[in-house]
Amino acid sequence: MSLESLIQGQVIIIDDHKRGAGEVKNFDNQQNDVHIDKETNFPINGKRQKLKIRIPINSDKPIKVENKRKEIDIPSQLNREIKKAFENKKTRENFIRDVLETLKNYESNLNSEEKAIKVLERLSKHFNMEWDEETIKQYRDDVLLAYTQFYTDEEGRRFFIKLDKEKMTIGENSGYAKQFRIYNP
């Protein structure tokens, strides 16, 4: 079972919403609320709207859907998509285990390109994607700040997975969700 449906035309971000606070990350602490943010341009009342769906992965908090910082009911189609992606217990547990393993020493994941590649390989297997050779490596003063890999499926759709100091982002490089190429001189 794959989680690919979670990123088709959409983006998921894995973080704790306390990025940039300068604190030590303790992802075993449920107060830190590690979760998946799913950004989608789901149509509500006939209009495409950017929704943020928070799916907690280290607590029993309920799934929340927000539109412009206002909590709303989960649209039924979106609710089914999320539940279907996580309905297989083994798939869900394996994904969460790999996410938590990645977050355990998160600050060291960009210590080298090799470590970043291992992290991206660990997460990408849950989306049935084998990344191609195209990458974006962002450095500042010889320090790796972000590492991005790309994948093209049989239908020509482009996907990306990105690791940076604050979060992990996985999504489709579509008109609504793009990973722009930024090259350092």
- Determine, yes or no, domain membership for 163: yes
Residue-range definition of the domain harbouring residue 43? 4-172
pLDDT given at position 19: 46
How many helices (H) and strands (E) are present in the chain, helices listed first? 3, 9
Between the CA atoms of 94, 66, 34 and 32, what dihedral angle is there, to the nearest 10 degrees?
-160
**How many Å apart are CA 115 and CA 128, to the nearest integer?**
20
- Number of domains into which the chain is organized: 1
- pLDDT band of residue 20 (cuts 50, 70, 90) is very low
Token match 């990344």: residue? 131
In a domain, 178, yes or no: no
Q: Give which of 33, 72, 34, 35 is closest to 50, Cα–Cα.
A: 72
| Domain-embedded: residue 50 | yes
Q: What is the pLDDT of residue 107?
A: 82
**pLDDT for the residue 162:** 92
Q: Rounded mean pLDDT of the chain?
A: 79
What would you report as the CA-atom Rg of the chain, rounded to the nearest whole angstrom?
16
| Helix extents (H) in the chain | 76-86, 89-104, 113-124
| CB of 21 closer than 8 Å to CB of 166 | no
Verdict on whether the full-model pTM lies above 0.95? no
User: 47 lies in a domain?
Assistant: yes
Q: Which of 38, 37, 36, 35 is nearest to 10 (CA)?
A: 38
Q: Confirm whether 111 is domain-assigned.
A: yes
* In-domain check, residue 182: no
Q: Which residue has the tokens 């341009």?
A: 41
The most confident of 27-41, 118-132, 135-149, by mean pLDDT: 135-149
Is residue 146 in a domain? Answer: yes
Among 2-6, 17-21, 129-133, the range with the most confident prediction by mean pLDDT is 2-6
> For position 112, what pLDDT does the model report?
93
Residue type, 31: Q
Q: What are 28-59's pLDDT values in tens digits? A: 555 566 678 887 777 777 777 777 777 777 77
Any domain includes 184: no
